Amino acid sequence: MMQTDISENAASRILIIEDETLLSIELEILLEEMGHQVVGVASHVERALELISRHGPETDLAILDVKLGTSSARPVAQRLETLGIPYLVLTGARAVAEKIVGDRAPLLSKPVDFNVLRNTLSRLAPPQAA
């Protein structure tokens, strides 16, 4: 698992990389309720890489689905790792996710338990102080 300690940075700028529209919307709402800012939402690999290029320096954390449509999100995970951006994985394909990210990121299974997600996010990216 990436060892970057986001809590020291009071992280709150999060990139959502998820191809299920309803889940993306729910994630945006949850993140905003927790005091985070969503810097972008991508539903396919090309858009995710574009957003990472544009917002990488200001991104504290990404939420990543490892299967975006019919494509593997491996290039996205690799780019995040190269830039040192921590991420967590939401997936319906745990075995595939484990092959792609191993133990470099927390893995949460779909359907998402929002309490588990909220607790994981609280550990990885606490809201900024007002």
Q: Determine the structural domain holding residue 79 and report its residue range.
A: 9-124
The answer as to whether 43 is a domain residue is: yes
24 or 120, greater pLDDT: 24
* Residue 11 pLDDT exceeds 50: no
Q: What total of structural domains would you count in the chain?
A: 1
* Residue 5 pLDDT exceeds 60: no
The answer as to whether 129 is a domain residue is: no
Structure confidence at residue 7 (pLDDT) = 39
Per-residue pLDDT tens for 67-124? 999 999 999 999 999 999 999 999 888 888 888 888 888 999 898 888 898 888 877 7
The answer as to whether 59 is a domain residue is: yes
Within the chain, residue ranges assigned H as helices are 21-33, 45-55, 74-83, 94-101, 114-124
User: Position of tokens 């090309």?
Assistant: 46
Half-sphere exposure of 69 (CA within 13 A, CB side): 8
Per-residue pLDDT tens for 26-68? 999 988 888 889 999 999 999 999 999 999 888 999 999 999 9
Structure confidence at residue 59 (pLDDT) = 93
Structure confidence at residue 128 (pLDDT) = 55
Structure confidence at residue 92 (pLDDT) = 86
CATH of the domain at 59: 3.40.50.2300
Q: What 3-state class would DSSP assign to 38? A: strand
